[in-house]
Amino acid sequence: MKAMILAAGRGERMRPLTDITPKPLLKANNKALIEYTIEALVKSGIVDIVINLAYLGEQIKTYLGDGTHYQANIQYTHEGKFGLETAGGIKNALPLLGKEPFLVINADIYCDYPLQALINKEIDLAHLILVKNQKHNPTGDFAITTNHQLNITDTMKYTFSGIGLYRPELFANLNTGKSALAPLLKKAMQHQQITGELYEGFWMDIGTVERLTALETSLINSTA
């Protein structure tokens, strides 16, 4: 299985840190955020990784190289200065991701979900990992039915973790260029083609400086 790490975001809420450093290279406990994700992928047995680049993207490419240091094979896609948003970025990377289901992870999250559980998992068009709602997203994103189908109609919703398993067919009819992921997922949900699961382990969206500090504190405490 191949994986894609979404690393093209501007990181506006992390300014001024992201004025000179791309968000995936911000560090917690002396390690860049994106390195934690790469190491988790390699540990799970996923070594073929695609990373999309936009804002200050060359810094990421220079920092990570071809992945040899991480026992991985890293390839890059370039989206210009402003990026293509999530679905557009995935569509742009399909030639590198191949025809089989692939994993996509946001570069600005930290999670201890066992990624190996998704290898060879049978899915329709996508399978999303959801987590309990946080203060920054109190109403959640998607609901889970008893048969693991996702929808937006039920009142009890959970937050999308930024970890998902996708078939390339989900993006087949998407026009090339900038495009968001949520509308594509919601349309497929209407046809019961998206499944999901709730993960209750450690997860954090590193969307602010305060959360970056909180992650660093958590990592230091876990190794103390």
- Evaluated on CA atoms 139, 144, 150, 153, the torsion sign reads negative
Domain residue limits, the chain: 2-223
- The span from the CA of 178 to the CA of 223, in Å, is 41
List, for residues 23-77, the tens digit of each pLDDT value: 999 999 989 999 999 999 999 999 999 999 998 999 999 999 999 999 999 999 9
Instruction: Tell me the three state secondary structure of residue 41.
Output: helix
Look at residues 168, 174, 15 and name the one whose alpha carbon lies nearest to residue 103: 168
Q: Is the pLDDT of residue 12 over 60?
A: yes
pTM of the model: 0.94
Q: Which two tokens stand for residue 12?
A: 């506006």
- So what's the pLDDT on residue 15? 84
Residue 224 — very low, low, confident or very high, per pLDDT cuts 50/70/90? low
- The span from the CA of 194 to the CA of 103, in Å, is 14
Given the candidates 3.90.550.10, 3.40.50.300, 2.140.10.30, 3.40.50.10210, the CATH classification of the domain at 2-223 is 3.90.550.10
- The span from the CA of 215 to the CA of 209, in Å, is 10
Q: Is the pLDDT of residue 223 over 80?
A: no
List, for residues 143-201, the tens digit of each pLDDT value: 999 899 999 988 899 999 999 999 999 998 899 899 999 999 999 999 999 999 999 99
Q: Which two tokens stand for residue 30?
A: 């002396």
